[in-house]
Amino acid sequence: MSRIAYVNGQYVRHAEAAVHIEDRGYQFADGVYEVCEVWQNKIVDMPRHLDRLDRSLNELRIDWPMTRSAVEFVLREVIRRNRVRDGLVYVQVTRGVSRRDHFFPPEDVAPSIVVTARSTSPKAAEAQAGKGIAVVSYPENRWPRVDIKTIALLPNVLAKQNAKEQGGKEAWYLDGDGNVTEGGSTNAWIVTKDGVLVTRPAESGILRGITRAAVLDLVQKEGLTFEERPFSLEEAFDAKEAFVTAASTLVMPVTRVDGKTIGNGHPGSVATRLRELFHTATDLRAV
């Protein structure tokens, strides 16, 4: 079966899917995106993801390429056409195709939309979660508007590649005060020795993760103690547990930070439980 992508109104073979060379996403990274998890034939937290897409579009003054319900339809259709039961669906909207010029294009230029979906292996993800991952810190070098989910991810690419070259799976950005902001494509959490969950407030310095929001709901439901405040790398070294969250990783235990063992070096019980319960705290829409 060949993979199918949606590009500006058409379902096309993935291998041949293309946008114009003067798409502003290609030339200026002038666009935004969302990634939703597909779990057991259901789209996880689609309303929250589309709310955030709406916010990102508004912040950059890009119009919706079609109605929100049409986008929902296309997400479902691309998932169906690719027979994804468990995986990820990706939607990207850019300011459209226009002669290269930094100023916004003329009003009649329509935004571009691309939707792709791919299967992932739940078994491989569980195996990874059973081992945990290593993270490697990296100086924060992104623009201050990381609250907008833009496709301009070059700093993230470099930070994550640096982590990979040092045996890690994720980077943790460190701000000027030595506090962890977030991961290259995840939000960052620790569990202190006293059992308090700590994650940075989403008011500035991080993307307000949808998985983070669902985990916060779960934490409250479970009656766990949590604090939204910055934490330093030293505090992470000293923590009982650490983990990251994203639609692509769900709750993923962190067992090493900059080569130092966290807790007993194995995935922590809090992170493991939150991972198990995760989907009970999410909105699930049938594909």
Q: Which positions touch ligand PDD (CB under 6 A)?
A: 35, 182, 185-187, 207, 209-212, 245-248
d(CA 88, CA 4): 14
| CB 81 to ligand PDD: min, Å | 21
| CB 239 to ligand PDD: min, Å | 19
Which of 31/105 has CB closer to ligand PDD?
31
Q: 65: buried, middle or exposed (CB in 10 Å: 19+, 13-18, 0-12)? A: buried
d(CA 30, CA 269): 41
Which of 46/97 has CB closer to ligand PDD?
46
Which of 97/213 has CB closer to ligand PDD?
213
Torsional sign, CA 9, 67, 29, 91? negative
Which of 103/143 has CB closer to ligand PDD?
143
| CB 5 to ligand PDD: min, Å | 17
41 Rama class: left (phi>0) / alpha (psi -120 to 50) / beta: left
Q: 165: buried, middle or exposed (CB in 10 Å: 19+, 13-18, 0-12)? A: exposed
Question: Contact 83/118 with Cβ under 8 angstroms?
Answer: no
| CB 237 to ligand PDD: min, Å | 22
| CB 140 to ligand PDD: min, Å | 11
Which of 30/45 has CB closer to ligand PDD?
45
Q: Catalytic residue numbers?
A: 149
The two tokens of residue 274 are 């939150």
